[in-house]
Amino acid sequence: MKRLICLGIGLLVYAIPVETYARPVSYPGGWTVSQTNNGEANTLLLHYSPTARYSLGYKFEYWRDGDFTVNALQMNNLLKRWNNEESQANLYLKSGIGIAHGDHETSPAAYTGLATDWEDRRFFASYENRYTEAGDVDDFFTQSARVGVAPYIGNYGDIHTWLMLEVSHAPENDEKITITPLVRFFKGVQLLEAGMTNHGEVLLNAIYRF
């Protein structure tokens, strides 16, 4: 049932136009809806950015390996941004606090982690980690890294494409390493990521910013 609910949420989000950039802080006054399905979890995040330095929002997560959910208030902080003539890099702190619910346990939950990215018009690289403490329900560490390349440089209004490879590490899971080739498409404010892990699981991500 939980998986069907997550799939329904994902289909609903895909029906909405999507912003180009997947960064966790938007422009001042901007709202973002972010939905992800990967080899570890299904998530839905709604957040608001009062300034260009931080955002606040609600996040729902379903972690498949542990078979539990998290409902949390999440805060994203832009710690540093490097603007160069032809590239940009960012460093974020992403933290949340809420409630975790498993089959027989309910517990307070909290998590925190760093996320960083660098990109120009041709290449992309990112890294993210997170530690989660959810009492009797679960506690775990995860990390992931991506590299990507744009096979062509499009103009404004074109369909832009990124070919990416993601490697995720979850030491407490049965499948500790997950490798996911994926493709990202965007045009204007529409974005979609799709791929498949080395374990045969589908990755589908989307973002809507307004």
Which pLDDT belongs to residue 54? 96
Which pLDDT belongs to residue 189? 64
Structural domain that includes position 200: 2-209
> How far apart, in whole angstroms, are the C-alpha atoms of residue 59 and residue 182?
24
Which pLDDT belongs to residue 75? 98
Q: Residue 132 pLDDT > 70, yes or no?
A: yes
Which pLDDT belongs to residue 154? 84
Phi, psi for residue 26 in degrees, rounded to 5 = -95, -170
Phi, psi for residue 10 in degrees, rounded to 5 = -60, -45
**Alpha helix positions (H), the chain:** 2-14
For 75-129, the pLDDT digits (tens) are: 999 999 999 989 999 999 999 999 999 988 999 999 999 999 999 999 999 999 9
Which pLDDT belongs to residue 116? 97
> How far apart, in whole angstroms, are the C-alpha atoms of residue 79 and residue 91?
6
Helix, strand or coil, per DSSP, at residue 198: coil
Domain count, the chain: 1
Q: Of 109, 141, 138, 114, whose CA–CA distance to 127 is shortest?
A: 114
Q: Residue 8 pLDDT > 80, yes or no?
A: no
The pLDDT mean for the chain works out to: 88
Q: Residue 50 pLDDT > 50, yes or no?
A: yes
> How far apart, in whole angstroms, are the C-alpha atoms of residue 65 and residue 38?
12
Q: Read off the pLDDT of each residue in 4-32 and give the average, rounded to a whole number.
A: 57
The CATH number for 137's domain is: 2.40.160.40
Q: Read off the pLDDT of each residue in 181-208 and give the average, rounded to a whole number.
A: 90
- The answer to which of 113-117, 200-204, 206-210 has the lowest mean pLDDT is 206-210
Q: What is the DSSP letter of 93?
A: E
Q: Read off the pLDDT of each residue in 70-79 and give the average, rounded to a whole number.
A: 98
Residue of higher predicted confidence among 169 and 14: 169
Greatest CA separation for the chain: 54
Which pLDDT belongs to residue 22? 64
